[in-house]
Structure formats: structure tokens, C-alpha cells
Amino acid sequence: MSIQETLQDSKLQLAIYTATGRLMDHRANAISPELLPRYQEMRQHAHDLKKHTIENLDHYMEEFEKNVIAHGGKVVFCKDATEVSDFILRLAKERGAHLFVKSKSMTSEEIDLNERMEHHGLEPVETDLGEYIIQLAHQKPYHIVAPALHMTRFQVADLFTEKLGVPREEVIEEQTMIARRVLREKFLAADIGITGANFLVADSGAVVVVENEGNARLTSSAPKIHIAVAGMEKLIPRAQDLAVMLGLLGRSATGQALTSYTSILSGPKRPGEVDGPEEFYVVLLDAGRTKLLEDPEKRESLYCIRCGACLNHCPVYRKIGGHNYPWVYSGPIGKILAPQFKGLMADPWLPFASSLCGVCAEVCPVKIDIPRVLLQLRSEITEEKQRTNQGGLERLAFKAFAWAMRRPWIYEWGGMMGAGLLGNGGRWISELPIAPGPVKAWLSQRHLPAPAVRSFREQWRARRTK
């Protein structure tokens, strides 16, 4: 569905607005000064903490690995998506594994892990309700936190009937029970559980997973093997840092002081323990992250803890929804991540699709200055276009702009010409067979202001000579 189609679909518009609006309200309540007087301090603390970790990532990765090994687990460094799927395929082959349960992980979406596994005849099953729905629908997540945010219960009813062969059920609680019945069997039969990670704790070699459905805890404890797939930027130095990070993540995402489940997983089950996997792996994914580390201007993009608050508040996301962004990361954070991971010129329009209103930076719990990164990306894109001889007309226009703006008489003459042309609100221009694009685009949505007969500077001169 294109941007235009999304804008015109009033049901979808309402669904996006209602869902994101609810998350905004919950967050606003949770961080209110009455409930959380130290919120701004916590943000600064979290920002400084991520900055420190990212700038010393090599050190913390080593410390993390050492501690995972000490607990009987293993860390697997993967430079790209292929290395992750190769590792998983090899392990599956060695252990005779076929059925995988998965809890929600944007990192696995980022590397198309399900598609890669299915391609090799393995069966990955998403167990987060929203992820399960979009897996059945063969879609990508619509939102970082709420993957099926765009779907109504009626659409889910149709989907369940079609894919699961169950009688049509429109009550959400009953739909949940249907999914639960199917997924319980999968949990019991699964050979391997794959989770993501919200945080990786260096000083304790622990993987931290937050969730509200209990499916991630089952995924990481029921099957004999647990694999956590995480981007290497998920590291934090110490277990005590979780106090701030968890408090910000839940509140920013859903307005919860803590999510219903917080699992801190360190290693396989010890001798004498009843629960837990027998094997424990942490896949640390690079896939472009070290490249970003080298860039002091934009490396703050790696501070993101995937709370989704910038999506919920973004007036652009709330209009165009999640599927009009070119990658699984949507919204403002996706707008800065995609060009840096997928290539600057893969979708050169993306960083420009923003009014630079700045609400994303205002609500970001780790204070990523997203508008500043967007402006930096815009500049790099225009430079790249110049290098490859594209966008010559726009470049020329801004050159001319700068030339005229340093010559007030030219600027004034240009203004007078413009006022003449735009007389009658410019409407005649839009009726020309070949109307100038920007004017036509403007007039498609709104009228132009009635032009000033005389500019301010003319009127000021007249006033002075009176």
C-alpha cells in the first residue's frame, strides 16, 4: 500500500491513530513529574551510559563473552545475516532440529531470519501474538513494538480462519486463546528457541528480554537449546545499569514501569536446576554496526533501545504507517538507520520525508538527536548526488539562491517578480499545461497567501521618508 493509498484509507488511518495515541497517553502518564520526577535525569544518564558503551564496545564485548563462557554458554560473532543463518543451520543439522519457536526480535527481522530458515526447510514459529499474526499474513512488522498495529480484529478473524482452519472468531480474547492453543503445542515440541535481547549485560554475561506475554520466557526455557540473536550495540556495562535502562524502556514503549516479564538469562541450566535450556548461545551481530561506529557524527544512532516512542509520536509515521518505510525499522529511527545500514542512496528520499518537527528527539529515552542526524544524512545525499552528477537542477537552484541572497537588490527584484507572478494566489499557474512542480504541489493541498503588493522593505523605506 503506497503512501497515497495509506493516507486515503480512513479505517487504517483511524487504526494507526488510535493505537499510537494510546501508547502516547500511556507514556505521558508514566513519565509525568508526579510519577517520575527524575525522568530527565534518567534520560541523560541513559544517554551517557550508551555513549560510553558504544565508544568502548570492544572492551565490553570481550567482557561479555568471558562471562557468558564462565556460565557455560557460548558467544558467536557474526559479521552478517548469512553468518547467522549458517550458524543456526549448522547447529540444527548437528542436533537434528527442525521446529523453532521464536519470541519477538527486530534483529531477526532485520536479517530476514525466518525466510532464510524456511528456505532450508526449517520451521520457525513466531510466538508473540502480534508477530504470529504477521507471520501468518506473510507481512513485515508494522511497528517496532506493536508489529500488527495496523490490523483489525476482523482481519485477524479472517486470517485465523484461512490459515488455521478454525471457525471465525471476532472477539480478541478468544482469538488470543486460539493462538495460545496452537502455540502451546509448538513450545512443547520445539527443538530450539530463538529470542532477541533488549540488553546484554557485560559484567554478568546476561541476556535481558522484556515482554508482556510470557512467550519469550517459554521460548528461552522450554526447548533444549536457546539462541539469543542480538545486535552488538545492545551491550550495557553493568547489571546495575538495568535499573535506569529498564525503567526507561517500559515507560517509553508502553507506559509500563516494568513490563510483565523481565527475564535475565545467564547461561544454560546448572547441575541440579529443573528449568532452562541445556545449551545457551548468544549471536552477536555486526551487519553494518562497526561501520557506523567509525562515524562520530552519526554513531549515536546505535544508542537506540527500540522502544518505539519516536514512531508513536511522529506525525509522519502516524500518517503513512509502518510499511511505507523501506526497511523493518520504521518511523524516525528507521529514517536514520536505513540509510546507514542499507546504503545512503538505496532510498535517497527517505531522510527528506520529515518536517523536522523534532518530537522524536524530545521523546527519545536515550536522547538521540534524530533531526540532527537527518540533516547530516541530507547533506551527505546531496554531496553524493553531486559526485555522481545527479540532481543538477536543484543544486543549481540553491547556488542561485545563495548568490541572490547575498545581493539584496537582486533579492528584492526577484521578490517583486515573484509577487507579480503569484498575483491572484498563483492559481493561474496551476492551470498552465506545464505548471512548475513546487507551486502545483503546494496548490494541490492549500491556497497561496495573497501576495504583498509592496514588500516590508519597500513599506519601511516609504515610512522613513514620510
Partner 1 sequence: MAKSVSLFVTCLVDQLFPPVGLAMAEVLERIGYSIDFRQAQTCCGQPAFNSGHREPARDVARYFLDTFEDAEFVVVASGSCCSMISHHYADLFGSDSKMMDRVHAMEAKTYEFSRFLLDVAQVDDVGARLNRVATYHDSCHALRELGIKKGPRQLLSKVEGLELREMPVAEECCGFGGTFSVKFAELSGAMANTKIESIKQTGADLVVSIDSSCLMQLEGTMRKQGLPISTMHLAEVLASR
Q: Is 180 a residue that touches partner 1 (CB under 8 A)? A: no
The residue (of 276 and 425) whose beta carbon lies closer to partner 1 is 425
Site string for partner 1, 1-20 (x = CB under 8 A): --xx--x-------------
By CB under 8 A, is residue 26 in contact with partner 1?
A: no
Question: By CB under 8 A, is residue 179 in contact with partner 1?
Answer: no
Sign of CA dihedral 432, 436, 442, 444: positive
The stretch near partner 1 (CB under 8 A) out of 80-88, 193-201, 228-236, 397-405 is 397-405
Closer by beta carbon to partner 1, 73 or else 351 = 351
Residues 294-333 close enough to bind partner 1 by CB under 8 A: 315-316, 319-320
- Which one of the spans 72-80, 89-97, 165-173, 379-387 is the region binding partner 1 (CB under 8 A)? 379-387
Q: Measuring CA to CA, which residue among 74, 127, 83 is closest to residue 105?
A: 127
Q: 102 — phi, psi (to 5°)?
A: -130, 140
* Contact flag: residue 379 with partner 1 (CB under 8 A): yes
Strand ranges of the sheet holding 199-201, from the earlier edge strand across to the other edge: 235-236, 199-201, 206-211, 261-265
CB 346 to partner 1: min, Å: 16
Query: Could you give phi then psi for residue 261, rounded to 5 degrees?
Result: -125, 130
Nearer to partner 1 (CB atom), residue 264 or residue 443:
443
Q: Which pairs count as long-range contacts for 158-164, CB under 8 Å and 24+ apart, including other chains?
A: 159/133, 160/136, 163/136, 164/136
Instruction: Name, in order, each residue with C-beta under 8 angstroms of 45's C-beta and a sequence gap of 6 or more.
Output: 244
Q: Kindly identify the residues of this chain, within the stretch 257-276, that bind partner 1 according to CB under 8 A.
A: none
Candidate list 34, 437, 465, 466; residue touching partner 1; CB under 8 A: 437
- Report the b/e string of 4-22 with b at 16+ CB within 10 A: eebeeeeebeebbeebbee
Q: Does 398 bind partner 1 (CB under 8 A)?
A: yes
Q: Does residue number 392 form part of the binding site for partner 1 (CB under 8 A)?
A: no
CB 6 within 8 A of CB 14: no
- Helix (H) / strand (E) containing 285: strand 279-285
Applying CB under 8 A, the span of 44-52, 248-256, 278-286, 443-451 interacting with partner 1 comes to: 443-451
Cell 546531496, residue? Answer: 382
Rounded to a whole number of angstroms, the minimum distance from the CB of residue 204 to partner 1 is 38
Indicate whether 29 belongs to the interface with partner 1 (CB under 8 A): no
DSSP letters along 149-205, please?
TT--HHHHHHHHHHHH-PPP---HHHHHHHHHHHHHHHHHH-SEEEE--SEEEGGGT
Interacting residue with partner 1 among 18, 290, 424, 459 (CB under 8 A): 459
401 binds partner 1 (CB under 8 A): yes
**Nearest distance in Å: CB 301, partner 1:** 17
344 is a site residue for partner 1 (CB under 8 A): no
59 is a contact residue toward partner 1 (CB under 8 A): no
Range in contact with partner 1 (rule: CB under 8 A) among 103-111, 132-140, 276-284, 390-398:
390-398
Q: What residues are paired with 281 via a beta bridge?
A: 74, 227
Among 119, 151, 293, smallest CA distance to 111 is for: 119
Residue 336 Cβ vs partner 1, minimum distance, rounded to whole Å: 14
- Only one residue has cell 557485560, namely 202
The C-alpha atoms of residue 149 and residue 19 are separated, in whole angstroms, by: 7
Helix (H) or strand (E) run with residue 334 in it: helix 331-342
Q: Which of 359, 421, 429, 435 binds partner 1 (CB under 8 A)?
A: 359
388 near partner 1, judged by CB under 8 A: no
- Binding-site residue total for partner 1 (CB under 8 A)? 61
Q: Which residues pair with 193 in a beta bridge?
A: 101, 226
Q: Applying CB under 8 A, does 387 fall inside the site for partner 1?
A: no
Give the range of 55-63, 211-219, 285-293, 395-403 binding partner 1 by CB under 8 A. Answer: 395-403
Q: Which one of residues 114, 263, 301, 354 is an interface residue with partner 1 (CB under 8 A)?
A: 354
Q: What is the 3-state secondary structure (H, E, C) of 35-90?
A: CCCCHHHHHHHHHHHHHHHHHCHHHHHHHHHHHHHHCCCEEEEECCHHHHHHHHHH
Choice between 69 and 462, CB closer to partner 1: 462
Reference 256, options 149, 141, 145, 361; nearest CA is 145
Should residue 456 be labelled a site residue for partner 1 when binding is judged by CB under 8 A? yes
Nearer to partner 1, 224 or 385 (CB): 385
Residue of 139, 161, 176, 382 interacting with partner 1 (CB under 8 A): 382
> Letter for the amino acid at 230?
A
- We find the least distance from the C-beta atom of residue 148 to partner 1, in angstroms, to be 23
Interface with partner 1 by CB under 8 A: which residues?
A: 3-4, 7, 315-316, 319-320, 349, 352-359, 361-362, 372, 375, 377-383, 394-395, 398-399, 401-402, 404-406, 408, 411, 415, 418-419, 437-438, 441-442, 444-449, 451-452, 454-457, 459-461, 463
